[in-house]
Every structure is written in C-alpha cells, then in structure tokens.
Structure 1
Amino acid sequence: MTSIAVIGCGKIGEALVAGLTAAGVDPANVTVSNRREERSAELTERYGVTAVTDNSEAATGAEIVFLCVKPDKTLAVAEEIAETVNDNEPTSTVASMAAGVTLGALEAAMGAGAAVVRVMPNTPMTVGKGVSAIAAGRYVDDEAADAVAELLSSVGDVVRVAESDMDAVTALAGSAPAYLFLVAEALVDAGVSLGLRREVATQLAAGSVAGAGAMLEQEGADPADLRAAVSSPAGTTVAALRQLEESGLRGMFFRATEACARRSAELGAVDEEDEGSGEE
C-alpha cells in the first residue's frame, strides 16, 4: 500500500488525514509532521497515524508527500525535504496544496527532475465535500498523477487541469466557498430584517444552500435549468431574481472572480521572481 506523508496538519492537512483514514488507508502507512509535540500526540490519538515534528523524517520513505503548509512557507519546506525526497526509492511525488505556488517554483526548490503536483483544494474537503484541481509537473508520470488523484478523492471530487488554468480554478473553486458563505450570511440578515429570529433565518439559509448544492450534484444538472424550474411566471421567485439581476449580481461575480484570479497570478509571479533571484 502507498506510503504517505502529510507535512503541516492545520485544517487542510487534518482534513486530508481524516479523509484518507476514513476511506480505508491504513494509518500505519501515514506519517504526519507538525512542529508542536502536543499537536502530534493529538493526531496520533485521533487517527492512529505516526506523527513527528521533523519534516524530513516524515518524508523519509514516503511515496507521496503532501505539502499542506501556508503558501509563504511552501518553498522553504520544499527545499528542506528536497534531499530526503530525492534519496527515497522510488523518488517521492510531492503534491503542494498551496495557492499561487507554481510548478516551476516548486521544481526549482526541489531540484532537477523533481516530481511535483500542484493542487488547489477548497475548505469543504473538511467535510468530505471538497473539489481539488490538480496539475502535474513535467516529471510526473500518469501512474503517479493517478495515485495523487485517487488519494484526494477521499475528501471530494478531483478535476485534472492544465497549470495555466490554476488561477481561474482558484477563483471558481478555491475561494468560492467564501462567496457562498457571504451569500448565506446576507440571506440570514435579510431574513432577520423580514422579522425572522436569527436562528430560524440561519437554519433556512443553510438548508437552502445545502439543498441547492445537492441538486447541482445530480447527474446532468444545469444551474440555469434548475433556476428556471423554480421560477413561475410573474411569481415570487421571478420578482426576487429581477432585483438581483438589476443590482448587477452577475457582474459582481465576474469582477470578483477576475480579481481573485489576478491576485493568484500575482502571488505566483512573486514566487517565480524569488526563485530567480536566489539562483543568481
């Protein structure tokens, strides 16, 4: 069975560990690293995995290494484990979960021939409903890419994309839960304004968002068709939708996703510049 290392066990890292073990991965084949010993002990007790405080120790012997640290720490950790990863037999595949950190920057940090995969997850993976997009580096073969995708499928859906699509993926999936949480929050406040108790408004809004999401997951579902099905001529829903359209809702989402994708590209450019300046 595949040996796995998860470096960094914050929300995303722990969600991945929880998903892997729940999906039947033997905890004996999972090693996690975390800087705090008390946190390591907590992870061992909760999931039965091996927990250490040294990143290189976690990566030793691992076939797949997930980097679940913050973007500004990712390249430093990649450099830290590079020698260990390259000495493993077979050489590890390293999957980075960090936004904006490019395959080029990761390959430069890991050294020549490094097998790296870039992953853009989103936070619903913490409840097994995530969407992860993956882009494989030039030294990753199909078998290794499939192995990463299969492991990630334990916490949600997996989509293969070109790296050039990653900024758009960040805008449409990586950051999208926050947009929907904002919509839900606005619905709750609107319900309170209409006279509902906040707890009732929250239950109604949360249930509606979850239910709509479940309908969208049905095979062949189309959001335009689903919207039309609930929009009776001259009815209450149409009256509400007209207000949303006249308020420029679609334009807001166009501008928001464009801003998100632009910021993702900026972060990636900074990483590339930093790597370049370090080589001169």
Structure 2
Amino acid sequence: MGDHTLSNPSAIWVIGCGKMGEAFLRGAHAYFSGMGREKDLLVIEPADATRERVASLYAVSTFSSVEKAIENGRFPEIIFLAVKPDRFLSLAGELKRLSSPVLAISVMAGITLALLERHAPEFRWVRTMSNLALTTGEGMTLIAPGSTATSSDERLVLDLFSRMGKALILEEKDFDIATALAGSGPGLMALVGDALVDAGVLFGLKRETASLLVAQMFLGTGTLLLSGCSPSELKGYVSSPGGTTIEGIASLEDRAVRGAFIESISATVKKSRQLSGDPSGSAGAKN
C-alpha cells in the first residue's frame, strides 16, 4: 500500500499513530481546523493498515517514513513524536535532515528534555506526558518546555492539549510523581473499579449493570473533585455518622488500604526514576 499525499507543502507531522498518536491527531485536527490548517497535518507511520485508516478518517497525508515525507517536500514546522522510547535514537538520526527550526513535542515516556536536546539540539523541544483518557477527550497532560522553547511554543502546546482534556505546565523534576498519579492512576482506579464490579456481581447484579454503576460513579466523583471539592471533603460529605459509607471506609482503613495506595504510587515513582535514562541503555519508562 502506498503513501497518501495532499497538495499543501507545509506540514505538521505526527510521527507514530498508535493510541496516543491518533488521540493527538484527532485533537490536532480539530484545533488546526479552526485555523484552516487541517490539511497541513501529516502522519508518518510504518504500518500500512494504520496509514490507510487515518488517511480515510482524517483526510490527511500519510507517509511510511521520515525519508518519504522529506522526498515529497513536506517539511514540518511542528513535530509530534508518539513513538516507542527505544526508537528515539534512530529517529533523531533521520530528523537531522531537517534544517529549519522546528517545534518538537514529545510524548515519549521516560525520555527527558536533556536527552531530547542532546540528541536533537536543533529543535525547540516540549516534553509532554498524557494518559489514555486523551483518546476520549478527557486526558490529563503534563507539559515541560525545553530550554529553547519560546513562550509562543508554550502557549500553543498548552492550548492544543487543553482541547483534549486538562493540561498543566509543570517543572520536569515533578514529572515522575505527576505521571504516577495521572498516567498510572487510571490503571490503579481500573483495579478498584474491577473489584467494585465483582462485589456487585457477588450480591446479585448483572456484570453490565454493576459496570455502568461503577463507571458513572467514577465520572461523577471526578466532576465533584474538579468543581473544587477536595477528596477529604467529599469523603466527609458522603459519610453520615453511623452510616453505611463510613462503615465501608472503616473496613478499608482497618486493612491499611490508604497506605497500600501510597506505597503503590511510591513504587511507580521509583520505577519511573529507574527507567528514565538514556534510551541507548534502557527501554524507557512505560505507563
């Protein structure tokens, strides 16, 4: 299967179109459509089936490699990298063919700004980390601008990711703990949700009914917390003296569940710090 090419010579590259890459493409398509620039989007993805699908869904140019895109004169002003961390070094070599200054946005887990700027110093780097909810427009994205990123770059990236959920500019030193909460958090909450669904089934509910109840409970709880209610306050609001909720909370406290969650986040942070090294010696951190 071949590449799909549109006529506009300028480009906004999306390199890698897995779940996160396509989530970004979807949000970027909506964002740049508002500027009349949706046809500037270009996807670089080696998988034939994926290129065919995104070309059909989003009417964007697609290429199988950086080399193919350059050969067709589609030079970028913005690059979004959503590839596996262990591909970064080889990709950095391919990107050296680009001569003009480029804003490069990385979503590669565990690849620090120092590594990005060391291996591709010609780019204005912005490091980001998003969670899987980006695919539904409710993501949480952390943003750390690099040393050469401009205030305009920072505003563009913040505005872009704010269209796909919440976005927060954060010092890179805080990425490990923030990623543990926002990036690994959905996995931890999915474990909690799975247990709650099983409890519902134990007491006679159909699994699909219990799943709906738990999913809507998570959604509603999130909206309450985003409205300004702290977790501690919310716990107090729903815990009547001598009531059912406080009985359940007391049972969890008796089993040290609070401490178990803190230890879980601590383990996640330690693993992230362990793996956040040079990709030539590590596969990089993974959510």
- TM-score, length-scaled by structure 2: 0.87
In the other structure, the counterpart of 1:121 is: 130
Hey, what's the Cα distance between the residues in 2 that align with 1:197 and 1:136?
A: 48
Alignment match, 1:152: 161
Q: Confirm whether residue 97 of structure 1 aligns to residue 111 of structure 2.
A: no
> Aligned partners of 1:76 and 1:170: how far apart in 2?
26
What residue in structure 2 maps to residue 252 of structure 1? 260
- Matches of 1:55 and 1:256 in 2, distance apart? 40
1:20 counterpart = 2:24: no
Q: CA deviation at 1:57?
A: 4.8
Task: Please report how far the alpha carbon of residue 20 of structure 1 lies from its aligned counterpart in structure 2 after TM superposition.
Answer: 2.0
> Contact 1:71–1:101 at 8 Å: present in 2 too?
yes
Deviation at 1:55, TM superposition (A): 2.3
Could you say which residue in structure 2 is the equivalent of 1:33? 44
Residues 79 and 254 from structure 1, CA distance in 2 versus in 1: closer, same or farther, beyond 3 angstroms? farther
Identity level (%): 36
Aligned with residue 70 of structure 1, among 71, 84, 88: 84
Note the alpha carbon deviations across 1:132-188, whole angstroms, 9 max, x for none. Answer: 001111111111121122222221111011111111111011111111111111100
The match for 1:278 is none
Whole-angstrom CA distance in 2 between matches of 1:55 and 1:114:
16
- Cα distance between partner residues in 2 of 1:53 and 1:233: 62
User: What TM-score does the superposition give when structure 1 sets the normalisation length?
Assistant: 0.89
Distance 1:137 1:273 in 2: 23
1:9 aligns with 2:17: yes
Q: Is the counterpart of residue 208 in structure 1 residue 217 in structure 2?
A: yes
* Cross-structure match for 1:142: 151
Secondary structure, counterpart of 2:111 in structure 1: coil
Deviations along 1:108-138, whole A, 9 cap, x unmatched? Answer: 2113x43111111100000000010011111
> Please, which of 191, 194, 199 is the counterpart of residue 182 of structure 1?
191
* Offset at residue 29 of structure 1 (A): 1.6
Does residue 45 (structure 1) correspond to residue 56 (structure 2)? The answer is: yes
Judge conservation of contact 2:115–2:278 (CA < 8 Å) in 1.
Answer: no
Give the structure 1 partner of residue 229 of structure 2.
221
Q: Within the alignment, does 1:106 sit opposite 2:125 as a pair?
A: no
Q: Structure 1 residue 194: deviation in Å? A: 1.8
Report the alpha carbon displacement of residue 79 of structure 1 after superposing the two structures with TM.
Answer: 2.8
Equivalent residue letter for 1:103: L
Shift of 1:15: 0.7
1 CA distance for matches of 2:69 and 2:275?
A: 28
Shift of 1:37: 2.9
Once the two structures are overlaid, the 10-residue window that deviates more, 113-122 or 5-14, is 113-122
Give the structure 2 partner of residue 242 of structure 1. 250
1:268 shift after superposition: 1.4
Report the Cα distance in structure 2 between the residues aligned to 1:57 and 1:242, rounded to whole angstroms. Answer: 61
Counterpart pick for 1:230 among 238, 262, 282: 238
Q: Which moved more, 1:255-264 or 1:6-15?
A: 255-264
User: How many residues are matched?
Assistant: 267
SS at match of 2:166: strand
1:194 and 2:203 aligned: yes
What letter matches 1:229 in structure 2?
Answer: Y
Write the distance in 1 (CA, Å) between the matches of 2:154 and 2:40: 19
Query: Which structure has greater helix proportion?
Result: 1
Mapped contact 2:11–2:41 kept (Cα < 8 A): yes
For residues 191 and 199 of structure 2, what CA distance do their matches in structure 1 show? 12
**Which secondary structure does the structure 2 equivalent of 1:116 belong to?**
strand
1:161 and 2:175 are equivalent in the alignment: no
CA RMSD of aligned residues (A): 1.9
Contact 2:20–2:82 (Cα < 8 Å) also in 1: yes
Contact 2:85/2:279 (CA < 8 Å) preserved in 1? no
Change (3 A) 1:222 1:57: farther
In structure 2, the CA distance between the partners of 1:159 and 1:197, relative to structure 1 (3 Å rule), is same
Partners of 2:90 and 2:274 in 1: how far apart? 19
